[in-house]
Amino acid sequence: MNILLTTISLDSRKGGGTAERTRRLSAHLASKGHPCEIVTIEDGDLAEKLRERAIQVYATGSLRLRFTVPFINPFRLAQSVRKADVIHILGYWNLLSIATAFLATRLGKPYAFSAAGEFVGLDRPRSIARLFHVLLGKRVIRDASLLIAVTPLERSQILERFRLSADSVIVIPNGVEEHAEAVSDLPAVSGAPYVLFVGRLAEVKGPDLLVEAFADVASEYRDVRLVMAGPDFGMRSSLETFVRERQLGDRVIFTGHLGEIERNDAYRRALLLAVPSRAEAMSLVALEAGVAGTPVLLTDQCGFDEVESIGGGLVVPATVQGLRGGLRSMLVNRQSLGAKGQALQTYVRGKFTWPSIVDRLISHFHGMVANHRD
């Protein structure tokens, strides 16, 4: 079965969890004998890794106006759509998804569509977003053979929002790889114990909430640092200013983007991972920490509340107060963190490794193709 996947970016610095999800899906689909091609707007390091595995990548390039306009060659994209037996479209608010869905419908190809949490933008849409949804987005949703949610909560929200039949929306969660231990040469995260943040320094990820919460408890845990690992999306300067104003010195460390080896090593060495997101479909970094055996403190906006019920960490409100209380609860009883990490590791390994997730997706793809032929 030939499979075409689309996503906005295959740059690990900018594409975040959706880029990593596309990379892992395509790699595991190909390893199971299903040739894959990926169409993306933005090329990057993840694209190069896929090309090294003989997975074809077509990067359109783009022009940035008020929004990103991809340089789509319609004949080139149509060629990819024709060759595919089934198509997986990831991401809602972009013109590549619209163009791919349009061509798939015109050429009689079934497609699965995943917004990956982006339907939250319909809650309080700006005028241009409302226009996009009415003129373009609704058709993508209507013509999809299958909608893919990342969590059961997202599935129920999709069913309620669009009044769809229950069998039209399935859950395919984020997944993780199990990595052999590797020690990186990253002095910033060695030595003192630390709380780890991994993600873009952008408002939606809540780094400001975490830094302020840590500043409030820093005097209580003088040996603990906060490591902020991730690329700057406009907030680093204000965060560093806040750190200076609170006289935290080297207690808060900004590492910038970490590569895969450094990131996995940072997870293993951390006391805990903090995920302060204001909105998230399902936290991929929480899964990555879990498979490394590191407990997690995350907000109730991350789509992974099971963390607390299985004893792998805490779930708190997405506020400074919530995170401050969570940090105190976990740091005051450090001897329990190892057991929490082991509980989360067992849970993640049992439910969220890519090979089993991809097997389920392939089964649904076969069903899509069979139903489309009927």
Mean of the per-residue pLDDT values for the chain? 92
Q: What is the pTM of this model?
A: 0.81
Cβ atoms of residues 119 and 92 within 8 Å: yes
Other Cβ atoms within 10 Å of 161 Cβ, number? 12
Cβ atoms of residues 173 and 150 within 8 Å: yes
Per-residue pLDDT, averaged over 121-132, amounts to 88
pLDDT reported for residue 77:
97
User: Is 14 a residue whose pLDDT tops 90?
Assistant: no
Q: Categorize the per-residue pLDDT at 280 as very low, low, confident or very high, splitting at 50, 70 and 90.
A: confident
pLDDT reported for residue 186:
56
Q: Put the strands of the sheet holding 169-171 in their side by side order.
A: 56-59, 36-42, 3-9, 86-90, 111-114, 146-149, 169-171
**159: Cβ–Cβ under 8 A, 6 or more apart, which residues?**
166, 169
Residues 360 and 367: their CA atoms lie apart, in Å, by 11
As a whole-number percent, the residues of the chain with pLDDT over 90 amount to 77
Buried b vs exposed e over 232-268: b needs ≥16 C-beta within 10 Å? bbebbeebeebbeebebeebbbbbebbebebbbbbbb
Residues 43 and 35: their CA atoms lie apart, in Å, by 20
Backbone angles phi, psi at 298, to 5 degrees: -140, 165
pLDDT reported for residue 120:
84
Backbone angles phi, psi at 56, to 5 degrees: -75, 135
Task: Indicate the class that CATH gives domain 187-351.
Answer: alpha beta
pLDDT reported for residue 182:
53
pLDDT reported for residue 124:
84
Per-residue pLDDT, averaged over 6-34, amounts to 91
pLDDT in tens, 304-339: 999 999 999 999 999 999 999 999 999 999 999 999
Residues 199 and 236: their CA atoms lie apart, in Å, by 12
Where are the domains positioned within the chain? 3-175+353-373, 187-351
User: Is 22 a residue whose pLDDT tops 80?
Assistant: yes
pLDDT in tens, 150-204: 988 899 999 999 999 999 999 999 888 876 555 555 555 557 899 999 999 999 9
pLDDT in tens, 98-112: 999 999 999 999 999
Residues 273 and 348: their CA atoms lie apart, in Å, by 15
As a whole-number percent, the residues of the chain with pLDDT over 70 amount to 97
Same fold flag, 3-175+353-373 and 187-351:
yes
Q: Domain 3-175+353-373 sits in which CATH superfamily?
A: Glycogen Phosphorylase B; (3.40.50.2000)
User: Is 74 a residue whose pLDDT tops 90?
Assistant: yes
Q: Categorize the per-residue pLDDT at 259 as very low, low, confident or very high, splitting at 50, 70 and 90.
A: confident
pLDDT reported for residue 125:
85
pLDDT in tens, 200-253: 999 999 999 999 999 999 999 999 999 999 999 999 999 999 999 999 988 999
Per-residue pLDDT, averaged over 331-352, amounts to 94
